Structures are given as structure tokens and as C-alpha cells.
Amino acid sequence: MTGSTERLPFLDTNIPMYAAGREHPYREVCQWVMRQIAEGQLVVATDTEVFQEILHRYGLLGRYEEAAMLVTDLMMLVERVYPVTVADMQRAVDLFRRYAPQGVRSRDLIHAAVMLNNGLTDIISTDRHFDLVEGIRRIDPLNLHQEAMKLLDEGSSKSGL
């Protein structure tokens, strides 16, 4: 998934948080996603709101050092970090009017606005409500892992391994 910045998938907050968190059905696959990013096999973008969300959530739990370490590590791993601009917030307000009544959270609508304003269409996320947002295609990390394993298996069988 390398290429121009515009083609990068957006990494949602829940991926590093599940990867770093307690036991959960998404934990292992999110750890796999984060390893792919760390190894340069998957190149992603995100926005500054993702870092704020991590600091906020871990801060509420009193896990300050973990929050600082997770955000610091994530800033080093992510290829492109978009700021949240006034134009993004204006678009987020429009998206909020349209999608909040359907259950899409305001923070996620900020991510959607940043994505749409920067030509990004794909988001790696466990949050199904992104499926409601026109112009955004959610990539579930379970599906991403499954597709990668299928390609790996196909490659192994073709090479005779």
C-alpha cells in the first residue's frame, strides 16, 4: 500500500489502542497491523486528532506514561500526519449534521473530514459506523489480515513452498 500520499490508508485511533490494550478479539490483528507499519510493509496516514484521542483515553485511566510512549512511537511510525484545520472542522460540522443522528461519533467525523479534504478514501478501523460515511471505505483489520495471509499462501503455493 505504498505510493503517493493521497493513496495512503488512514489509521484510526482504535488500531494502536487495541494493539496496546488488554485482551480483545481485535488485539492480535491490530498488533499485526502495527507490526506491518513498523516493518514498512504498510504505509499509513493519520491526523493529529488520533494522538489527542489516545492521550485523552489513557489520561482518563491514569496511564500517563503509556499514553506518552504510545503517541511518541506512533508519531515515528506514521508516514503522514495531517493537522486538523479550520476547513476540516467546517466539513466536520457538515458531516456531523448528516451522520451524527445515525450514530457516527463527532471525533470520527473529524477524521472523515480530514480524509475527505485530503483526498483519502480508505480507513483502517474497527468502527463500523465509518461504513455510513459517503466517500469513505472502511478496511476492517481482520479482513486486511485475512487478505494478506491469502496472498502469502498463494505466493507460497506458486513458488512450490
pLDDT digits (tens, 9 = 90+) for 43-89: 999 999 999 999 999 999 999 999 999 999 999 999 899 999 999 99
Domain assignment present for residue 141? The answer is yes
Domain assignment present for residue 161? The answer is no
- For β-strands 45-47 and 80-82, DSSP reports them as parallel
Number of domains into which the chain is organized: 1
CA distance 137 to 119: 12
Domain that holds residue 108: 5-156
Contact 42, 6 (CB under 8 A): no
pTM above 0.85, yes or no: yes
Domain assignment present for residue 18? The answer is yes
CA distance 99 to 101: 5
CA distance 22 to 117: 34
Domain assignment present for residue 149? The answer is yes
pLDDT digits (tens, 9 = 90+) for 99-154: 999 999 999 999 999 999 999 999 999 999 999 999 999 999 999 999 988 887 77
Query: Coil, helix or strand for 7?
Result: helix
Contact 123, 12 (CB under 8 A): yes
Inter-axis angle of helices 48-60 and 64-77, nearest 10: 160
pLDDT at 7: 78
Provide the CATH number for the domain around residue 102.
3.40.50.1010
